[in-house]
Amino acid sequence: MTGLTAYTNARLIDPASKTDVGGAVLIEGNKIIDWGPALFSDGAPENVRIVDCRGYCLAPGLIDMRVHLPEPGGEHKESFETASAAAAAGGVTSIVCLPDAETPIDNISVLEFIARRARETNIVKIYAYGTITRERDGGELSEFGILNEAGALAFTDGDRALADALVMRRALSYAATFGFLIIQHPEEPRLARNGQMSEGEMATRLGLAGIPAVAEVMMIERDLRLVELTGARYHAAHVSTAAAIDAVRSAKARGLPVTCDTAPHYFTLNDTAVMDYRTFTKVSPPLRDETDRLAVIEGVRDGTIDVIASDHRPQDQDSKRLPFLQAETGIVGLETLLPLTLALNHERDIPLIDLIGCLTVAPAGLLDMKEGKLEAGLPADFTIFDPDRDWTVEASALQSKSKNTPFDDYAVKGMAMCTVVGGRHVHSLLD
């Protein structure tokens, strides 16, 4: 029985098995051995290490499927070490890097670099996407098969929309042959060009060029026609508008293999947050109006939105503390992903198990990952969190190297108390 650790007195939440019950988890080394409500009901053996979860929730480790990690080339904004520390502090055990660093992930050598740096960092698990097109230039397709064999979980051009319909058709056809997932940044680039925030009353008042909400749904609706043509798996990233969510909802009703995600800032903030030209609210796609924000919440509630991801995009002060037109887009989100998502339970009564599913089993299923559920024999990756812990976000205290968050001094509820990756405590307030 040596080398065994029992996590007792926990509220077990496992969306994969629809479990929400008091119980315990037993691990040995880096694997789950057993778990459930009956485990140790008569007490644990004396030679088992005990970790008292104090009644907190124990769920599969969170999986963040949208992380902009600028290394190599942008280490001054975020490194593997700082991103991993931020993930661990936020209860995230696995992150998936978007392929839009200075060196795009369009060849095996970059994937090998990421795998090596992940091993060297050895905090949370780090996975990666491959690009749809070489250099993300929207033209020649990348070698999907070779990249997948080297570890690419899916294919996307990151924060660039694949605008050419013929290239997208070829990508979807290629992907359909092997069952690969294509992830699109849904924004019609000509309509969005030079836009600074969402088009509407607030943009007019601030004198900023607007990006019309229709730019998002136009791209999705075009792509849905190509999905019908090819049968490929398609995922719309960070949906932010009511029209786009309606389009995905309709496509799912027709049986198309379509999914989507959103980010917490799209259901927490609206375009009024840009008031006074706050560059820390400049994101892509932009914050929308209140009608769209409420539509995102309903999309999460009814399951149209499959995944909630941080869309973590670190930017240094030199990139953000500029006039709004010159400032870079993006916010950090690894450490606020959990509490901002839990607000939908506290304030909107969306079931906790459903929200945790959006952060665990849903992204794992999309990306064919073994993580994302509690099951004997699987990796001991889980998060222990207090859903009711009140705290205030302090940008200066974030583990991320960059501090570009619009949630500085923002009151939240819900905190990761312990993050376990492969049986190791990579973050803990319990020890």
Residues 229 and 240: their CA atoms lie apart, in Å, by: 26
Q: For residue 415, give both structure tokens.
A: 């905190």
- Residues with catalytic roles: 311
Instruction: Say which amino acid occupies 348.
Output: R
Residues 327 and 345: their CA atoms lie apart, in Å, by: 33
**Cβ-based neighbour number of residue 103 at 10 Å:** 16
The answer to whether the CB of 263 falls within 8 A of the CB of 309 is yes
Residue among 351, 396, 330, 381 nearest 88 (CA): 381
